[in-house]
Structure formats: structure tokens, C-alpha cells
Structure 1
Amino acid sequence: MQSRQIPLRHAMLAISDGIAEFTHQRPDVRNALSLALRQDYADMLEAVETDRSIRALILTGSGGSFCAGGDLKSVQSLFDDPSAAASAPDAMRRRMQDIHAWLRRLRDLEIPVIAAVDGPAAGAGFSLALAADFVLASERASFSMAFVRVGLLPDMGALYALPRAVGLTLAKELMFTGRRMDVKEARDRGIVHEIHPAEALADAARRFAARFREAPREGLALAKRALNGSFETSYETMLALEAQGQALASSAPYYREAVGTFLRGEPPRFDWDRAARQA
């Protein structure tokens, strides 16, 4: 399968062998979430959503940092703008709505999303990691809800995602204090899936993502959509979603092929443990 790279403003999108890798590329400012990087996310999602050959997406940083949060230099430029409208509450609300438009798409992407976190994931960077399905981290990774340090409340979906990941009490502590959580605590709390040495993280994330190449795209997409809403959904509604989802998944060619493979005594096309051994 052909590899290609798509240069963006403050990021790079690389696609190879069914795996997309989106890399923040402003290490001089610890990959702060600039206005340009926000637009890069929207453009990246447009490319990934329309390419059915992509089976997993990796989000990562560069220069020993995942994302240190919002770009405060761009915020200062708003304060310095002679137009009062630039820093008005409604302007902030509209900027957040622009972010939410692509953030929903990232969270609901039909393929597995893996955040490879090396170094700090602070503020919006932590929120981005929480939007992924799996977080792989380096030994020097750290996580912080740093919003409180500049007088803001957590955003980019953190108010929703963090309590569901760690429980309400710990989420309040992290959000009210802005304290730094090291990678071992993040793994113990269920945020981090795997820890790797910094120099091995990128390859580990690629191997992890590659294990999804032969996974049933339709089945995973339907399961992910249902799970993303499971905390707000009644038991009866989840049963209905199961029935509808199975009806759709069983109509996909993958299901018929997998049943035939099983009945012939052949190894399944998708075997997570086998893929791990091969990796």
C-alpha cells in the first residue's frame, strides 16, 4: 500500500499501510494548540473520514511533548486587539463551538484512535488524549488539567470524559487543583493503556494500531458508537441498539466470511493475540 504525507500548518498527516499518523509539529512551544493546529485537526479528519483504507489513527506530538494546552500567545493577541469584540464572551463561545465541531468527529471516528503521549499532555492536550480510544504513553509522560491555572474551566470535552474515565471525585480533584499526574498514576487510574520508553513509543503505537488492520470495520464502528453513549443510555435502549447493530454488522461481508472461515477450521482473519505475537 502506498505511503503518503500531507503537510498541514502546524502538523503532519502520514498515511501508510492503513494507518494514519497525525503529528503535532510545534515542539518549540511544546505543541500548544494554536488556531492553525485546530484547523489542522479539522482538515486531518476530512482526509481520514473519506479514506476507507485507513483502519486506525494515531495522534502524537514531537520534541518530547504531546500538547501543552492552549496557545496563550494567540490569546494575548486577542487581548491586544483594539476591537472589543475579539475578546468578548460571545467570541469565545463561537471559538469553542468551532472546536467542538471537529472534536465530536474525532471522538466518533469509526476507527480506533490511539494517542501516543510523550511528555506533557496539559490542559487541552489532556482533553485530546481523553478523546482517544487508547492512550499509550512514554515513561516521561504526564497529564494535567491545567485550565485552573489561568482561571478557566476544563474544556474540549474534558468535563464529560474525565469523570467517566476516573470517577467524579478524582475528576474534581484533578480539575480543581490542576496538579500533575505522572504516567504511573495515569495507568493505575485507567487513563493510560500501556507505558513504553520514550524512544520506543512511536513504534509501539504503530504496532498497536497495525493490529486493527484486519478488524471488522463495521462491527467496531457500531460498538464504538454505542459505547460512547452508554453512560447516558438506558438498559432497554442499549438492548435495542444491540439488536440494530447486530442486524447491520451481520449484513456486512466480513461476517459471512468469518463464519465460513470458522466452519472450515481456518484461523480467523482478526486475532488480537496472534497479531500481538507477530508484532
Structure 2
Amino acid sequence: METIRFAVEDGIATLTLDSPARKNALSLPMRDEIGEVIRRVRADDSVRALILTAAGTDFSSGGDISSMQVEINAEQGRKRLHKVHGWLEDLIQLDVPVIAAVDGAAYGAGFSLALTADIILATPRARFGLPFLRMGLVPDCGVFYTLPRMIGLQRAKALMFSMRELNAQAAQDLGIVMEIVPADSLQERARTLAQAFTEASPVAVGLTKQALNASLNQDLHTMLAMEADGQGIAFSTAYRREAADRFMAKQPLRYRWPD
């Protein structure tokens, strides 16, 4: 791959945007390569968590402006984005937790990509923004779905209309960023969180994530049914039986959240 790096080690997959000279702009080749990685992660049962991160001093400056200088009609524009949507939906719906480690700028589609994660870590110098309207464009890469669910409809509208830049603290105050960590500790913290999931039940984690993703689109009856079905499956796993045995024997349980 030419624009990203990908590795799986000890159950942790790491996708690194690797075009630092271009501030990791999401070029068309990079989008295709991300799609290939997501397909690999979905097919690899050994993966227990995915880290999204970037080389250099910026997470991603967003869409590649040079590719926007080409004249395209409405149908071509729709097809270009539909190609991204093919893997974007798979990324959001991955059964394994996704952790975004954000340093520097996460603008436009770069911000949208970070929002696909279940957990966003940021350094104090991280910056987030959605300047699509400045270019006469509509916010994209799933942000109409992810952002209102995270911060509420009115705040999502305000961010898109105002194009206001958020620093790390403002993003944390809104509930976008879970933790702010020093830049030199960002990758270590992301890996520590990912490592915790390698000791969790992949079935229980996957079912929990599926239910949470569905919760804002479903009624109470549907969510209670998902809960009962999921718990029935979880009860039947060897992991649950082992955890019960450990508990009764007063032995440490395998999964714990790192401080």
C-alpha cells in the first residue's frame, strides 16, 4: 500500500494514514486502500480491536483539494462518495471496538473518519473542524449520521454551519473526545485500551456494540428484544462459563478497563 500502513499484532489491528507531506489528505487512492484494510479486518477473526491513527503531525486535513479541481457532474460525484460509503458503513458496524488516536488537525472528512470510532483519544494540539460549506460542499463521510448522535442535533448544525474549529478541550466538553493525552503518550494509550479488549469476550463486545449502534433508531420493544437475544447468545459462550468459574473461585477476571 502506498498511502497507509496496516499491521495486526497480538489481536490489535492498526491502520495508519501515511501521507504526512500532504497532511494525510484523504486522496482517492487512500480511500481505496482504507477500504481494502476494512475488508481485511472484517475477515480476520483474530482481530479484537482496531486503532485508527496517522503519521506526522496531523490526523487528516480532509478531502484532497486537488481532486476537487476536476469537473464532475452530479452523478459522478454521487458515485465517488458511494464508493466510500461501501467501506464506511462496514467500519462503523465492525463488531470490534475502533479507537481513533488524533493528533493535530482532523478537518472535514478527516474529522468524519475519526467520528466512526467508538473511542476518540486526542492530544492537546488536536483540532477538529467541518469547513465543507466554505468550499460549497455538503459535509460527508458519514458525519450526518455520527455527529448528531454524539452531540445532539442543534450542536451538530452549529458546527457544520459555523465551520468553527474545536480544540481538544472543546471537543472533549462536547463529548467528542473521550480522553486528552500527551502527544508522546498517544499511541501507547491507544494500544493500552485496545489491549484490554483482547481479554474481553468478542461475542459480548460485538453484541454490545451492535445494540448501541441500533439504539437511537429503534423503539423500546425492539431494543429489549435485542437485549434478550444478545444475552441468550452471551450466556452460551465458553468465555461466560470461564468468567463464572473464575468469579466463584475468587480468581481475577480477565477483562478490566485500564486506568
Q: TM-score, normalised by structure 1?
A: 0.90
Q: Which of 115, 129, 132 is the aligned partner of 1:130?
A: 115
2 CA distance for matches of 1:128 and 1:71? 14
1:267 aligns with 2:248: no
Q: CA deviation at 1:248?
A: 1.4
SS at match of 2:96: coil
Could you tell me which of 218, 222, 229 is aligned with 1:244? 229
Deviations 1:55-105 (A, max 9, x none): 1110011111101110011222x22xxxxxxx0101111111111110011
Residue 113 in structure 1 maps to residue 106 in structure 2: no
1:38 maps onto 2:23 in alignment: no
Matched with 2:159 is 174
Structure 1 residue identity aligned to 2:165:
R
Residues 204-245 of structure 1: CA deviation (Å, up to 9, x unaligned): 111121111101100010110111011110001100011111
- Which among 48, 53, 62 is matched to residue 60 of structure 1? 53
Correspondence for 2:85:
100
> Match of 1:258?
243
2: distance between equivalents of 1:226 and 1:209? 20
Show the 5 A alignment for 1:89-238. 89-238=74-223
2:147 counterpart SS class: helix
SS of the residue 2:226 aligns to: helix
Q: Distance in 1 between matches of 2:138 and 2:74?
A: 14
CA-CA distance at 1:26 after TM superposition: 0.6
Per the alignment, in what secondary structure is the counterpart of residue 32 of structure 1? Answer: coil
Aligned to 1:82: none
1:66 and 1:134 map into 2 onto residues whose CA distance is 15
Unaligned runs of 5+ in 2: none
Separation of aligned partners in 2, 1:112 and 1:43: 18
CA displacement at 1:9 relative to structure 2: 2.4
Q: How much has 1:166 moved relative to structure 2?
A: 1.0
Distance 1:206 1:188 in 2: 24
Percent identity over the alignment?
Answer: 46
CA-based RMSD: 1.0
One-letter amino acid of the counterpart of residue 111, structure 1: V
Would you identify which runs of 4 or more consecutive aligned residues in structure 1 move more than 2 Å?
A: none
1:95-142 Cα distance to aligned partner (Å, 9 max, x none): 111111100110011111000000010000111111000000011001
- Read off the aligned partner of 2:101 and give its amino acid letter: A
Alignment gaps of 5+ in structure 1: 1-7, 80-86
Residue aligning to 1:12:
5
SS of the equivalent of 1:22 reads strand
Aligned partners of 1:36 and 1:251: how far apart in 2? 43
Hey, what's the Cα distance between the residues in 2 that align with 1:207 and 1:60? 14
Which residue does the alignment assign to 1:3?
A: none
